Amino acid sequence: MAQDPSDGTKAPPPHPFDERWYVRTENETLGPYEGWRVKELIEQGQVGRQTLIARVGAAEWSAVKDIPVFDTLVRAEGPGARQPVSRAPTPRVEIGGLRYAGFWIRVGAYIIDYIIINVIVVVISGVVGLLIGLIAGLSHQNDQSALPALAGGVGAVIGIAIVIVYYVRFNSGPWQATPGKRLVGIHIITVTGEPVGGWLAFGRYFAYMLSGLPLCLGFMWVGWNEEKKGFHDMVCGTRVIYGKL
C-alpha cells in the first residue's frame, strides 16, 4: 500500500472505478475497460453477478459479486442479475487470466492483412504511375526511357509507407489490432495490460525484421513458448491475446 510522503500515513487503495478491468465472457476476454465502463455494462445488464472480471495485472479472475462496489450495481431483476458464465476449460492458452493467441491464428490474421495491404498498394501505386506518365506526356519530353524506373521507385516508396502506416495506425488505434487481427478476434496489449501507443507500434513493426531472421525463427517461436511470444513481442514487451476492444 502506498505511503503518503506528507505525513507518512498509508494512502487508500485505488477505487475500482479508477482501475482497468478485463471482462470474461463464454467465448472471449474483453477489455481492458476503465472501471466506469464496467459500471455501465453492469447497469445495462450485460455483466452479471457471476461474470468474471480481473484487474489489469492481476493473476486471477474474480466474480462481480465478490467485488462489493460492482456487486451493489447489479440489478435485482433482469438479464444482468444472475447471468452465468462458463468456467469450462478452453483449448486456448490461459496464463494469468489471459488467453494468448497462438501461431496459426496469427498466421491467419497476417494472410488477411497481406491481402488487404496488397490491394491498397496496387490501387494507389497504379494511380501514381498513371499520374507520372500523364505528367511526362504533357511535358513533351522525347526521352521517356527513365519513366518505368521512376514509376517503380515511387511505387516502392509508397508501398513501404502504406505498410508502415497500416500497422502503426491500426495497432495503436481503438482496435489495438490490424483488420486481420480484428477479424479473427485477437488484439495486442503490453505486458502490463495497457494499450499499445504509436511509437511502440512503430518499433514493433521494425522488430518484425528481428523475427524474420534467420528463417523466420522469431515468428515460429510464437508456437513454442507459454505466452506465445515472437521475438518482436519479447523486444517490445507486447502480447497478442484473444478478445476485441
Q: How far apart are CA 224 and CA 27, in angstroms?
A: 24
- If we measure between CA atoms, which residue out of 243, 244, 245 comes closest to residue 94? 243
User: Average pLDDT over the chain, rounded to whole?
Assistant: 79
DSSP string, 102-160: -HHHHHHHHHHHHHHHHHHHHHHHHHHHHHHHHHHHHTT-S--TTHHHHHHHHHHHHHH
**Looking at residue 86, what is its pLDDT?**
40
- Lowest pLDDT segment from 28-32, 41-45, 113-117, 167-171: 28-32
- What are the residue boundaries of the structural domains of the chain, listed by start? 16-88, 103-242
Predicted local distance difference test score (pLDDT) of residue 27: 66
DSSP state of 12: P
Average pLDDT for 224-230: 87
pLDDT tens figures, 7-28:
556 666 777 877 888 888 776 6
More confident residue, 221 or 16: 221
Mean pLDDT to the nearest integer, 165-181: 94
Q: Please tell me which residue, 34 or 174, carries the higher pLDDT value.
A: 174
Which range among 14-23, 43-52, 200-209, 225-234 has the greatest average pLDDT?
200-209
Torsion of CA 31, 35, 37, 40, to 10 degrees: 130
> Of the ranges 7-21, 31-45, 117-131, which one carries the lowest mean pLDDT score?
7-21
176, 32 contact by CB (below 8 A): no
* CA distance to 131, 135, 136, 138, 141, per residue, from 145 (Å): 16, 14, 11, 15, 10
d(CA 21, CA 193): 9
Q: Pick 1 or 199 by higher pLDDT.
A: 199
Which of the pair, 129 or 242, is modelled with greater confidence?
242
Q: Which fold has domain 16-88?
A: Dna Ligase; domain 1 (3.30.1490)
Residue 66, SS3? helix
Work out the pLDDT band at 168, boundaries 50, 70, 90.
very high
Closest by CA position to 18, among listed 41, 39, 47, 48: 39
| pLDDT exceeds 90 at position 71 | no
| 32 phi and psi angles, rounded to 5 deg | -75, 145
Q: What is the mean pLDDT of residues 38-58?
A: 82
Contact 97, 54 (CB under 8 A): yes
What is the per-residue pLDDT for 49?
83
10 Å CB burial of residue 25 (0-12, 13-18, 19+) is middle
Residue 64, Cβ density class (10 Å: 0-12 exposed, 13-18 middle, ≥19 buried) = buried
**pLDDT at position 11, please?**
62
pTM over 0.85: no
Higher pLDDT, 26 or 235: 235
Note the helical H segments in the chain. Answer: 35-43, 68-71, 103-138, 147-171, 179-184, 198-212, 217-220, 231-236
